[in-house]
Amino acid sequence: MAEYINIKGQNIEVVASDPANPTLGQIWYNSTSNTLKGQGFSTAAWATGGSLSTARLLGFPSRAGTQTASFNAGGQSPTATVAVTEEYNGSTWTGGGNLPAAKEYGAGIGTLTAGLAASGSTGTGATATTEEYDGSAWTAGGSVNTARYATGGCGTQTAGLLFGGTTGAPTATGATEEYDGTSWATSPGSLNTGRYNSTGTGTQTAGLAFGGNVTPTVLGATEEYNGTSWATSPGSLNTARNYLAGAGIQTAALGFGGATPANTGATEEYDGNSWTSSPASLATARSYLSGSGNTSAALAFGGLTTVKVAATEEWTGAGPTTVTITAS
């Protein structure tokens, strides 16, 4: 049998701890754990995470949250529109501060400790309310200028972006508003294709809107915002869908789940120019779900199969990874 030194021209390094920045293909022996290790490349995958305490759809997620620090507020439970907020720590959901009033179907923006729940529906009609979250309690923020639901949103608590939606289906709007931490201002830029039931990622000056519908058409169209105006991207989703979720930034985004109109678990990655279908799909195909995180580590939670669900899934993007080498 050929030895490693004859194949690679060098001995296997013996170290007390794993290298901080190993190169792809590098192999070493960890004398502390007595294991042979190497640097390989993992494929992207979804894995089961901790379930929400309250099954629901159309919640307000901390879109800029992380896989280990996100919230899901409000939404529609199996019995009613709720005000319940839950926080995820990377393994389990626990109770947070409830919204002042129950609502659903709007834009979740920001992080776990600095979030927004903007616009939406009270269950009986559109609302203009905005609430701000500090990681423990919600307080009233500035109202949006156009009350609407089924909106897209992204950004932060002090630099939020709200776009699209409807004041009453089937009428779609492309209206865009910007939040400065106190009040909303209507942007001169409007989506080129007014839509509702879309999703968004990114920042106030580099936003991304994709999917959605203009009744009766389900869309794959993607648009990019530069802080002033929207431009149609040459790349459309490979699977046109609405009621989907997203994560990431304008140049590195994920789109997953949704309805085509049939529920799908399909996941796609955006590089700032085009969408690529991932071989990894959600284990639970669903629509009306929420999402947060980025292309390396994202979350998908809640939604609808044939019933409202509490399922959470964690995305790990493809990339270099340290593996333990065992005899086969």
Residue-level pLDDT at 11: 82
Averaged confidence pLDDT in the chain: 95
Name the architecture of domain 45-316. 6 Propeller (2.120)
Residue 9: is its pLDDT beyond 50? Answer: no
Residue 267: is its pLDDT beyond 50? Answer: yes
Report domain extents, the chain. 4-42, 45-316
Residue 328: is its pLDDT beyond 80? Answer: no
- Structure confidence by residue, pLDDT tens digits, 12-49: 999 999 999 999 999 999 999 999 999 998 899 999 99
Phi, psi angles (nearest 5°) of residue 225? -110, 135
- Structure confidence by residue, pLDDT tens digits, 117-143: 999 999 999 999 999 999 999 999 999
- Structure confidence by residue, pLDDT tens digits, 81-105: 999 999 999 999 999 999 999 999 9
Residue 4: is its pLDDT beyond 60? Answer: no
- Structure confidence by residue, pLDDT tens digits, 203-227: 999 999 999 999 999 999 999 999 9
What predicted TM-score, i.e. pTM, was given to this entire model?
Answer: 0.90
- Average pLDDT (64-73) is 98
Share of the chain above pLDDT 70, in %: 97
Residue-level pLDDT at 282: 98
- Structure confidence by residue, pLDDT tens digits, 143-185: 999 999 999 999 999 999 999 999 998 999 999 999 999 999 9
Residue 1: is its pLDDT beyond 80? Answer: no
CA 267 to CA 200: how far, in whole Å? 15
Residue 5: is its pLDDT beyond 50? Answer: no
Residue-level pLDDT at 141: 98
Residue-level pLDDT at 203: 98
Residue-level pLDDT at 10: 56
Residue 64: is its pLDDT beyond 50? Answer: yes
Residue-level pLDDT at 185: 98
Beta-carbon contacts of residue 114 (< 8 Å; ≥ 6 apart):
132, 133, 134, 135, 156, 157, 158
Contact yes or no for 70/87 (Cβ under 8 A): yes
33: region left, alpha or beta (phi > 0 left; psi from -120 to 50 alpha): alpha
- Average pLDDT (299-309) is 98
